[in-house]
Structure 1
């Protein structure tokens, strides 16, 4: 049995994952703003440091896996764009960077980061805001997004999920992660029936918008089923899974982007490897 850390463990999909892991006999260190083994506010640098230190102290320097499920949705509010970015992006990457040595100590650790199908279904998210986050400048990202007014929170949510997904893909294939035996991947849920979604559905205007969004198979996803996917991504069966973003969204991403991806790699990106391919072909 292994030792896993799950952020956002007190509710929704994070709670479902933590419960499933515990039911399977694993040790789970839950992190949340309340009702968790480690109580920490991931929207602040001090809160993130609390989470980092407490988990490392509890796990004894070894983690078999991590699930970064804590996140804020696109609810309106003056300070919400900043809080969304702090939790959804910095509340993921700062923790993972600090926990990386403990994950490497397990030799075959798995990490699952919660992304979202909002990465591909929210239009016109400014690339400058995404780049600012990846450069570590959350304040600049907020300034860029504030021009969207009441829609700033939704744009911040989409931008934060794109940024964290790109961070996952960039880092997953590096020596520090793949080379250290750590498999780093992301899962991108669609509309999952969690307390947050239930709250949104209780507001007629929001409910109308949610129900009008295309979900080809219909209905909403189940948090328990998402937990099953995450547990698979933490298992030995996922040893060859690296840098992937897995969409579990009832078909919404495919509905909007059936022809956008996959796409061929530009030749200029492949050029340094062509000689290896030719050499391989000569022996086949």
Structure 2
């Protein structure tokens, strides 16, 4: 049966691969991105988030079956804090009323294996408090310390998003309304974002040392796209609040038997 999906970050990387996969399966996809999509907005801003909800509501005539919130940044900049956490949550919460019209509503977002990397406690608390002004102020401080420290903006935003999914999914608004809410946590995906990292043998070795992926190494975007497609399908009736690491074994190496 054909379903209507909203995919953010639809113009490139995992979002593009997911949109193409769902379209090939006969579904209707409303793509959202900065440019080159059905809905062109900036999810780092309140105005962009509001416009996204308004335009999706108009295009879909007020009813969708699934939200796949992929849009994000990995750069050590303030905008990463806004789009990765507040943009993702605004997408999921803003479109939830449209999901309630579906017979099989689904929602999924993209965290990261970087959620296991070192994080910044002050920034994390600002995320968990829902204080975007404080988060942006702290992210600016991290950004100004250089890219090595600035990377914590990305890892912290992804940890916060994963924790939000874990605590939010079992609530009355989501599980109680029959909406499975989950996340995936990819490791290295071969995309424009990682092109420079894998362009040379030296770069690939350094990346492998930092992010070991013993099962088949870095992946094409279609690999996490397939998991997103299943999580947002009618077949997924009972996964709730799961953060699924699709990472070639990175999580198993880093955490071992500490979690299961």
Mapping of residues 182-261 of structure 1, within 5 Å:
182-202=179-199, 209-213=206-210, 214-261=212-259
Partner of 2:169: 172
Q: CA 1:39–1:147 in structure 2 vs 1: closer, same or farther (change >3 Å)?
A: closer
1:126 to 120, 125, 135: 120
Contact 1:108 1:183 in 2 (8 A): no
Shift of 1:147: 4.9
Superposed CA offset, 1:41-75 (max 9, x none): 111111111111111111111110010111101x3
Could you tell me which runs of 5 or more consecutive residues in structure 1 were left unpaired when the two chains were aligned. 263-284
Instruction: Give yes or no for the alignment of 1:47 onto 2:48.
Output: yes
Q: Which has the larger radius of gyration?
A: 1
Work out the CA distance in 1 between the residues paired with 2:203 and 2:135: 26
Shift of 1:153: 2.7
Contact 1:5 1:65 in 2 (8 A): yes
Q: How many residues align?
A: 255
Partner of 2:69: 68
Contact 1:71 1:88 in 2 (8 A): yes
Shift of 1:234: 1.4
Instruction: Give yes or no for the alignment of 1:137 onto 2:138.
Output: no
SS across alignment from 1:67: strand
Shift of 1:139: 3.0
SS across alignment from 1:21: helix
TM-score in terms of structure 1 length: 0.84
Partner of 2:100: 104
Shift of 1:103: 0.7
Mapping of residues 84-95 of structure 1, within 5 Å:
84-95=80-91
Shift of 1:26: 0.7
Contact 1:31 1:38 in 2 (8 A): yes
Contact 1:84 1:153 in 2 (8 A): no
Partner of 1:273: none
SS across alignment from 2:197: helix
Partner of 2:4: 3
Contact 1:217 1:251 in 2 (8 A): yes
TM-score in terms of structure 2 length: 0.92
